[in-house]
Amino acid sequence: MRSSPTITPVSDPATVRRLGAFEDRYGLGAFDRLRALLAQPCVTFAEIAEQFGVTRERVRQWHLELMPKAPRGHARKRQCSILRRKRALLSDPLFRSFYRHARGHLGSSRFRPVAGREGFRKRLVELDRQMVLIKEAHRLRRESSTVAYSLNVGGATVAFIYYRLTESEFLFIPRHALPPSGTTFFDSRHSKYQRFRNAFAPAFAEVRAGDESTT
């Protein structure tokens, strides 16, 4: 979910000399501060210009020189809008749990948020071009020592459902492996859903095996 513009590295002698002159004028560390600000699409050229005591046109020139491939104008504003929507998405506790678990197991390049009417959808995400429903598993109050959770399915047509059990525990189950009306997960080694606990690979393997059996 993360992307950042490419900043031209400082290596050639002429650039090094300009760097020294820049810091003589704007202060020690000013060049690195400028580069960091330019890399943030939600920081406007006007705000940077005010910090350095220059015009917006001068900041635009710096941006062009240091980040020639970076988005500009309306494209930079769109990039800022997307970044803000992603930040809002990650502020949701349930989505943040999914993101943390998925990033830890799969990396962040394999999934992307799904656009909604206002920002990104918090309970639906695309993973390897397949839709995942994000849900909270509700722990049931029972006298037995075996912990149990209610797994609601919902009406979305998806390939997988992610259930958060606790902050550090989850299930990632193929949708076809669940009854249409939902089920109860008994957290014991005898549960048929135990293989989907705290792992993503078993669910993907089951879906692939099903696809191969139909071809």
Per-residue pLDDT of the chain (215 residues; tens, 9 = 90+): 555 444 455 555 666 677 888 889 999 899 999 999 999 999 999 999 999 999 999 999 999 988 999 998 999 999 999 899 989 999 999 999 999 999 999 998 898 999 988 889 999 999 999 999 999 999 998 778 889 999 999 887 999 999 999 999 999 999 999 999 999 999 999 999 999 999 999 999 998 887 766 65
| CA neighbor of 127 nearest in space, from 114, 141, 140 | 114
The span from the CA of 91 to the CA of 109, in Å, is 20
The span from the CA of 36 to the CA of 33, in Å, is 5
CB 163 within 8 A of CB 135: yes
Q: H or E segment at 210?
A: helix 201-213
Structure tokens at 177: 């492996």
The predicted pLDDT at position 21 comes to 86
At a CB cut-off of 8 Å and minimum separation 6, what does 69 contact?
5, 6
The span from the CA of 109 to the CA of 105, in Å, is 11
| CA neighbor of 70 nearest in space, from 1, 2, 4 | 4
H-type alpha helices, 39-180: 45-52, 56-66, 74-90, 93-106
Structure tokens at 51: 């910090």
The predicted pLDDT at position 11 comes to 56
Q: H or E segment at 138?
A: strand 138-139
CB 197 within 8 A of CB 207: no
Angle at 147 between CA 123 and CA 131, to 5 degrees: 20
115 burial type by CB count under 10 A (0-12 exposed, 13-18 middle, 19+ buried): exposed
Backbone angles phi, psi at 101, to 5 degrees: -70, -45
| CA neighbor of 170 nearest in space, from 193, 154, 145, 141 | 193
Class in CATH terms, 92-213: alpha beta
The predicted pLDDT at position 147 comes to 93
The predicted pLDDT at position 14 comes to 65
At a CB cut-off of 8 Å and minimum separation 6, what does 74 contact?
none
What are the extents of the domains in the chain?
A: 13-76, 92-213
